[in-house]
Every structure is written in structure tokens, then in C-alpha cells.
Structure 1
Amino acid sequence: MTSEKYNLTIKEAVQYFNIGEKNLRKLVANNPTADYILMVGNKILIKRKLFEQFIDGTGSI
């Protein structure tokens, strides 16, 4: 289940957070050193709990 996973792929994060894929990829590209991003080779993973905290503190994406 996605809500129990620690890291989410971009596609899983899009569904879980209800954010468009283009917006999420742009957010990752503009903040490559953000704490909520985990790079595994070329694969981008989103750290779910840290991204939740980021969204809670953000007014818009």
C-alpha cells in the first residue's frame, strides 16, 4: 500500500499527493538537493514523510 511506503516513485507520488507529473518533475528539477528527494542511479524517489512536511509548509506548488 502506497501510504505505508517510505519512498515513492514519481508516478506513485503523483497519485498519492494529487499533483500533476509535470509539476512534480519541475519541482524536483528546480530543487535537486531537497531533503525529500532520493536519487537511486537515474531513478527519482520521493521521501513521502519529508515531502508531506514540505507540502504542509508551502502555500502553492
Structure 2
Amino acid sequence: MSKPHPDRPSPPESSPDAPPLAAGIRRHLGRTLRAHYADSLAAPVSQRLEALIAQLAKPKD
């Protein structure tokens, strides 16, 4: 969690009454995010990150 900044207004809380995004907007956002992160997904994982993932896979004692 981040601390609120005194000079910035707080972001509006999600409201259960908020209308869902239109299907076209969701498709556009999905395509845009996939295009933006495509290079990251294709990049090799660093040894440090592989070690951290391996630790997560180990059962706790």
C-alpha cells in the first residue's frame, strides 16, 4: 500500500454501482496490454527470478 500524498486527491473507490466497461473497450485494452508486454513475456527469465520462483514452489515445513 502506498501512503496518500497530501497534495493529490485520493482516487475514487470502486463502486458496486459503477457500470462495466463496454466489450469494445475491454478488447482494445486487452490488445494494447498484450502488445505492450509481448517483449517482456518473450524475454528469458533471469537466474535470480528463477531462484525466487523455485523457492515459492517448495513446500513450507
Structure 1 or 2: more strand by fraction: 1
Q: Which has the higher contact order (CA 8 A, sep 6+)?
A: 1
TM-score with structure 2 setting the length: 0.25
TM-score with structure 1 setting the length: 0.25
Greater Cα radius of gyration, structure 1 or 2: 2
